[in-house]
Amino acid sequence: MYGQGDNKVKALDNVSFSIKQGEFVLIVGSSGSGKSTLLNMIGLLDSPTSGKIFIDGIDTTTLNDNKISSFRNNKLGFIFQFSNLLSDLSVLENVLLPRQIAGTDNTAEKDARDLLKTVGLENQMHKRANKISGGQAQRVAIARGLINKPSIVLADEPTGNLDSVTSETIVQLMKSMAKKLNQTFIIVTHDKEHFGDVDKVITIKDGKAFEGDQPSEMEIIA
Ligand SMILES: Nc1ncnc2c1ncn2[C@@H]1O[C@H](COP(=O)(O)OP(=O)(O)O)[C@@H](O)[C@H]1O
Ligand SMILES: [Mg+2]
C-alpha cells in the first residue's frame, strides 16, 4: 500500500506463489501492474502492509533493519534496468564493490575476475566503466549482482534498455549462469519471448498474482 488517506494506492493485493531453489522465474504483466513493487518486496527494499514473505523459511517481514541489511548482503543479488555503474571506477572495481561492502576477503578479486570471464569481459576489466557499451555495462552489472554469491538473484527489466540482439545475449547469459551456479533467478521482464523455456511464469494483473492456494503469502526457498 502506498500513500495515505484518499491517496492510497494498493499496488499489490492477494499475491501468492512459491519458488523453489534454483528455479528460473519470470514476472510479467503490463506497465504499472505492480511488478517492481513485488520484486522490491522480495528484495526487502520495500515491505508489504499486510501478508508475509517467507524466504528460506524465515518471514522476512518480521526482520529488523540490521537483519534486513545482512540478509540483503548475503542472500540477494540485484540487477536493474540501468546498470548504474560508477563511471570513475574500472569494470573490475565495480564488480568488487558489493563484496567490499560485505567485508574484505582473500578470494574477492579472483571471484570477480572469474565472473568477468564468464560474462565475456576478461579483456575489459581495467577499462573505466564509462568507456564500455551499454550491453557490456549490463554484463558488468550481472557480474556485480553475482559477486556475493547470492542464493537469489533479482532482476528488474535487465534487458529493458538494450537492443534486441544484445538482449538476447544477456538473456542467454543469465540462463546459463543460473544453470551453472544453481541460483534462483527472479526476473521482471517485458520480453518473455526472448527467454524461451523457463521454470515458472508469474503474471501480475491489476496487482494480483496467484499461484497455489494460500493468498497473501509468498514462499521462496533459496
Ligand atoms: N512510491 C510509490 N508511491 C505511490 N504509488 C506507487 C509507488 N510506486 C509504485 N506505485 C504505484 O503502484 C503501482 C505498481 O507500480 P510498479 O510496481 O512500479 O509497476 P510495474 O513495475 O509493473 O510497472 C502503480 O499504480 C504505481 O503507480
Ligand atoms: Mg517496473
- Nearest CA residue ID for atom 20, ligand 1: 32
Per residue in 162-181, pLDDT tens?
888 888 888 988 898 888 88
> What's the gap in Å between 47 CA and the centre of ligand 1?
13
Q: Once rounded to an integer, what is the mean pLDDT over residues 68-88? A: 90
Task: Give yes or no for a contact between 139 and 173, defined as CB atoms under 8 angstroms apart.
Answer: yes
| Residue 215 scores a pLDDT above 50 | no
Percent of the chain with pLDDT over 70: 88
Ligand 1 site, residue 134, Cβ cutoff 6 A: no
- Nearest CA residue ID for atom 25, ligand 1: 32
* pLDDT of amino acid 8: 63
Ligand 1 site, residue 80, Cβ cutoff 6 A: no
3-class DSSP assignment, residue 111: helix
Q: Once rounded to an integer, what is the mean pLDDT over residues 11-30? A: 83
Query: Whole-prediction pTM value?
Result: 0.86
CATH code linked to domain 14-220: 3.40.50.300
The sign of the CA dihedral 203, 174, 23, 197 is positive
* pLDDT of amino acid 212: 43
Question: Which of residues 67 and 1 earns the better pLDDT score?
Answer: 67
Q: 101: closest CA among 124, 79, 122, 72?
A: 72
Q: Once rounded to an integer, what is the mean pLDDT over residues 189-217? A: 75
> What's the gap in Å between 11 CA and the centre of ligand 1?
6
Sheet holding 15-19, edge to edge: 58-59, 52-55, 217-220, 15-19, 209-210
Cell of residue 136, nine digits: 557490456
**How is the chain split into domains, by residue range?**
14-220
